[in-house]
Structures are given as structure tokens and as C-alpha cells.
Amino acid sequence: MADASTFPLKSIFEEAGNQVIFMGRFFRNLFRWNFEWEEFIRQCYMIGYRSLPLVAITGFIIGFVITLQSEPTMKAFGAESFIPKMVAISLIREICPVVIALICAGKISSGIGAELGSMQVSEQIDAMEVSGSNPVQYLVVTRILACIIMVPLLTLIADAVGFAGSYAGLNLSQRVSPILFFNKAFNSVEFGDLLPAFFKTIFFGFAIGFIGCYKGYNSNRGTESVGIAANSAVVNASLWIIVIDGIAVQLTNALGY
């Protein structure tokens, strides 16, 4: 399936229709009794554990850089003591969920797209189907569910490591007690900050898994299409993440969070 961004209007609607049909297949197979636990746990390991170093380093650097960048301005206004609060809220509510989701789109969605795309090219998916097995249940449901669970967990880890990065950044110019820093940071965070961000990342996880699976599963037969599937999975998943974020912000504002 070619990249949707190069399609004329008719093809965009066709692509949207195909995505809806594929989503229907996912939900239909989600509730079938013979759940693939073994493959699901393997995917959680591949998607979650294998992404941990990248996510932790990114989270640390985000916290570190935000603190270094904002410190001179805060100092000019005599508001240095607000740095832990500012960093905590911005990391939890917006920066970590979106940045980690975009990183996961690059790493996970493209990986799924390429893996399923190459399975399609080498007729492995057809072989599963012809044998009477259910490739959607085995390949698609497990991967999307693993993303739904692992992306929020990775974001929480990035939040925590981001606090540590912020503390390290602040300690470059002045000596701050870790107890004081983390007390200030955690006291400023409310349940209302954490909950919408957490729910948002569940949808990000779904978008990352779904787009990766859709692009890979429906790729064409040539080897070139594996690259196209991986590339368009990243582009489309990133776009979905930005759109979901925009909707989530409007929704949380309307609900008063």
C-alpha cells in the first residue's frame, strides 16, 4: 500500500476506509477466546524492555535541557524556586508523553511495519492464513495490545528519569538538596495532571501499534514495499500522535483538568 500522503483525495478516503475495516478486524479478534499469551508477553518484552534505554536517555536529557534553558529566565524574575514545579508539570502533562510517543513511533511502529511487511513479502502471513490459523490474532492483536500497555509505562519511566535530569541540570549552577527538589516537584503535581496524560498515552500506544500493523500487514509484495511500510508507519503514527494530542488538550481543558 503506497504512502497516503502522496494520494489524491479519493485514495485518502479509500485508505481511511481500509483502516476502519482493519480496526474492525482487530476488535473482532481482540475478544476471541484463544488469546496468544506467549506472543503477547514476547511483544511486551520486545516493545517495552528493548525501548527502555532509548526512552530513559531521552527522558533524562529532556529534563536536563529544560532546566538549563529555563533557569536564566526564571533567575531574572527571581523565580528559581519554581523550577522543580515548572519542570514537573511540563514533563508530566505534555513533553514526555508526546516526545516519548514520537520516539516510539520511530522505533516501534516502523519496526512492526517492517516486520509484518517482510512477512507479507515472503508469504508468511498467507501461510498462516492458509493453514487455518488466525494471523490477525497472532500478529496484530498481540502487538497493538503490547503497545497500549508499554507506551504509558515507558512514559512514566521517562517522567521519573526526566526529574533526575532536571535535578542534575539544576546542580550544575547551584547546590540543591535532592529532598527539597523532589519534594517541590512532587508537591506541585496533582492527580489531575497525571491522569489525562496517562490516558493520552494509551491512545498514543494504540496509534503506534495500529498504524505499524496496518501498514505492514497491507504492504505490497515487492521488497521495496517493506521500506515503504516502515516509512509510512512512522509518518502516519507521528501524525496520529499530534492529532490525538491536540484533541486531548482540548478535551482536558473542557473538563477542567
Partner 1 sequence: MEQAVQDIDTEQQQQRADEGHEDVIQVRHVAKSFGDNQVLKDMSMVLHKGENLVILGKSGTGKSVTIKCMVGLLEYDAGELKVFGKEVKSLSEEEMKELRSHVGFLFQSAALYDSMTVRENLEFPLKRVLLIRDQADLDRRVTEVLESVGLPDAIDKMPSELSGGMRKRIGLARTIIMEPEIMLYDEPTTGLDPITSKEISELIRSMQKQYKVSSIIITHDIACAKITSDRMLIMDKGTFVAEGTFDELSKSDNEFIQSFFKL
Q: Judged by CB under 8 A, which stretch of 4-12, 68-76, 128-136, 201-209 contacts partner 1?
A: 128-136
Q: Is 64 in the site for partner 1 (CB under 8 A)?
A: no
- Binders in 28-57 for partner 1, by CB under 8 A: 34
Number of amino acids touching partner 1 (CB under 8 A)? 15
142 or 238: whose CB is closer to partner 1? 142
Q: Which stretch binds partner 1 (CB under 8 A): 8-16, 120-128, 163-171, 226-234?
A: 120-128
**Residue 196: CB minimum distance to partner 1, A:** 37
Query: What residues from 131 to 150 belong to the interface with partner 1 (CB under 8 A)?
Result: 131-134, 138
126 binding partner 1? (CB under 8 A): yes
The least CB distance from residue 115 to partner 1, in Å, is 8
Question: Per-residue string for binding with partner 1, 215-244, x by CB under 8 A?
Answer: ------------------------------
Query: Considering the rule CB under 8 A, would residue 124 count as an interface residue with partner 1?
Result: yes
Q: Is 128 in the site for partner 1 (CB under 8 A)?
A: yes
Q: Does 123 bind partner 1 (CB under 8 A)?
A: yes
CA-based radius of gyration for the chain: 21
Q: Which residues bind partner 1 (CB under 8 A)?
A: 34, 119, 122-124, 126-134, 138
